[in-house]
Amino acid sequence: MQTGSTWDRALRKNAQYIHSWLDLNPEYEYNFFSDEHAWRFVQLHGNAGEKDAYRRILTGSQRADVFRVLYLRIAGGVYADLDEELRRPLSQLFTGTDVAGRKVPGANATAVIGTFWPFEFLLFVPNHPILVHATRIMTEGIMQQVEWFRSNSTHRCRGAHECIIRVTGPLAYTSAVGAATMGECKNRVRLPHNGQCDRNAKDPLLRNMFLCEKDAGTIWNSWSCGFARHWDCRNSDRRRNCGAKHYGVAKHFFALD
């Protein structure tokens, strides 16, 4: 599943990356959700709080953040950012090995996660605890910001890093990872190490996650599991200009009424 404002715009800006998913996975169902279709999905499947929070976020980045975790919590599957490039077929990941040569347990895995816990490339079964916590944390975070903006509180977020990255983006996601795992997996930091959930978690959805090892690069610039590369305009080698409409120059992030 991928999402963007419209299919035409997504294809115009990211055709080479989108085609890597289409061409390498002919046996897989591919779903693209435009802003309109994503909102319909949220209206149909989200709870009252999720609907209210989703309608209040104003940037495409925020909508992509929230929609991916909501969709995967409900339907499961694979999510990739539009500027994520796939190098090898997904069937090889689910039936083969990661870049370190470790066998991926295929249909028995409840999640397949890159070394750096990427938010741009997600593979989960429905109702996974990490996704349950992620939708709750993002929904509550959005509504808290709405209240703070209404009251002109000094606690309100400022700029894209706080209003997107922390409220709906990667930092909100890693907070959800910590909320889901720290009690079950006994990790002392947000992100569990390989084997912690396998050994300690009682919930089979946490116990049967597969964490890839030895991904090349860094948290900002890596091949997740040796399969998928994020060509983000800000972080991954700055391969292209972010453009004037990138979220970094957004002035408003939440609808207050």
Q: Where are the domains of the chain?
A: 2-248
Distance separating the N- and C-terminal Cα atoms of the chain: 31
Q: Could you state, in chain order, the average pLDDT of each consecutive group of 10 residues for the chain (257 residues)?
A: 97 96 96 98 98 97 97 97 94 87 88 95 98 98 98 95 95 98 96 95 97 86 89 63 60 93
pLDDT at 107: 77
DSSP state of 254: B
pLDDT at 41: 98
- Between CA 200 and CA 193 the distance in angstroms is 12
**What residues are paired with 3 via a beta bridge?**
33
Tokens 């992620």 belong to 134
Which residues 6+ apart lie within 8 Å of 118 measured at CB? 222, 224, 228, 230
* Three-state SS at 72: helix
Strands, E assignment, 99-218: 111-113, 121-124, 209-211, 217-218
pLDDT at 221: 77
- Between CA 54 and CA 150 the distance in angstroms is 17
Q: Is the CATH number 2.40.50 carried by domain 2-248?
A: no
- Between CA 159 and CA 140 the distance in angstroms is 19
Neighbours of 48 (CB within 10 A): 7
pLDDT at 105: 86
pLDDT at 217: 81
pLDDT at 239: 57
pLDDT at 99: 86
